[in-house]
Amino acid sequence: MPVHKTSNIYLDNSAGKPVDSRVVDSMLPYLKTSFGNPSSLHKYGQEAKQALDNSREKIADLIGAEKAETIIFTSGATESNNLAIKGTATRNRKKGNKILTSAVEHISVINSCKSLIRQGFQTTFSPVDSFGFLDLEKFEENIDDQTKLVSIVYANGEIGTIQPIKKISEIVHKKDAYLHVDATAACGQIQIDVQKEGIDMMTISSNDFYGPRGVGALYIKESIRIDPLIHGGGQERGLRSGTENVPSIVGFGKAAEIARVELKSEGKRLIKIRDDIIHGLMGSIPYTFLNGHPIRRLPDNVSLRFSFIEGESILLSLAMFGVFASSGSACTAKTLQPSHVLLAMGLKHEEAHGSLMITLGRQNTQKDADYIKEIMPAIIERLRSMSPLTPKELKR
């Protein structure tokens, strides 16, 4: 039996990261004493406006944006994706009515594109290979003179695969289209430079690098024009009306500042733990397979599938040992259908159902990895012993 754990191990960081204590400290003054509306002209309002401007600067610095004004604050990644896709499509309707995305996008991108079909737009979902990489040859074939918007995920949060964004950008711009990138899972984990990589618009989420929930941003290149989704008092350059959530935006900026400084060292630390878990489990448990690319993947992502059993049963078993992980994206957890990402990579339904997704965070250590490697073989063996799909030679 494994060593008894006295505390829980949280390994579902892609669904929601703990807010860094330094971020909380930065927010407190704006929850207690600095309460002005940033649209007000008096002292308190100008203090709040300055706080917003400072956060814009920090987020722009994190992603290599040309200026702070290119950062538009939203309620989170889902709103940013909706604003980028719907706002660009409607603004450029007369130039072309086709939208191109991939088959492994976040559900907020997929459903935004699908919603535009009812308005007369055409959406094409470009295929990926067995690692989750975009098939660039077919991708280029799918862009024609009516395609004005392309939306591609920077790195898939479920399988960890990092797309070749610069190459994708070159193809998109050669075809005279705009490129929107959903960098929710990637931003704050790996180095991103929107100017060097040719990104026109990019979605960012605060909580995905230890900031508060309920706030995000959309980077919009200075020359790009889009239509707003929310109309009102004209805040955020008229693209996202409504009084800004100053405390959370301040926390967002602090989280970006910390991520920029610690990104390389933390990434190196997580990669070591990530690879130790992957190699340890694949080496000790037969019929265990890695989802996504083994090298070009996010530092925090361990996505494995175990043949002959269900991912939900693995999660319940892990919870009994105080370990909390996931079987896929939290945004699609309410459906019992297998992951659309894994199916797009060519997996069968029964293969996709046996997935376990571990996403690491700042609070995780090598001791957590050692504990996972210790308890998992017995968990998988027990579940397989009860499964009618398990071959007889694997049952004891």
Which active-site residues does the annotation give?
331
Instruction: Please state the separation of Cα 95 from the chain's center in Å.
Output: 30
Q: Are 87 and 119 in contact (CB under 8 A)?
A: no
Residue 226: count of CB within 10 angstroms of its CB: 24
Instruction: Tell me the CA distances in angstroms from 238 to 85, 92, 225, 231, one per residue in order.
Output: 17, 18, 11, 8
Q: Are 142 and 379 in contact (CB under 8 A)?
A: no
DSSP string, 149-185: EEEEESB-TTT-BBP-HHHHHHHHHHTT-EEEEE-TT
Strand pairing partners for 126?
102
Q: What is the DSSP letter of 225?
A: -
Alpha carbons 346 and 129: distance in angstroms, whole number = 8
Burial of 346 per CB tally in 10 Å (0-12, 13-18, 19+): exposed
Alpha carbons 305 and 40: distance in angstroms, whole number = 54
Instruction: Tell me the CA distances in angstroms from 19 to 97, 182, 207, 208, 213, one per residue in order.
Output: 41, 21, 7, 10, 8
Alpha carbons 344 and 146: distance in angstroms, whole number = 25
Closest Cα to residue 206, out of 255, 133, 247? Answer: 255
Strand pairing partners for 98?
122, 147
Q: Are 193 and 215 in contact (CB under 8 A)?
A: no
Would you say how long the chain is, in residues?
396
Segments in 285-354 forming alpha helices (H): 311-320, 340-344, 349-352
What is the dihedral angle through the alpha carbons of 287, 268, 22, 45, rounded to the nearest 10 degrees? -100
Residue 186: count of CB within 10 angstroms of its CB: 26
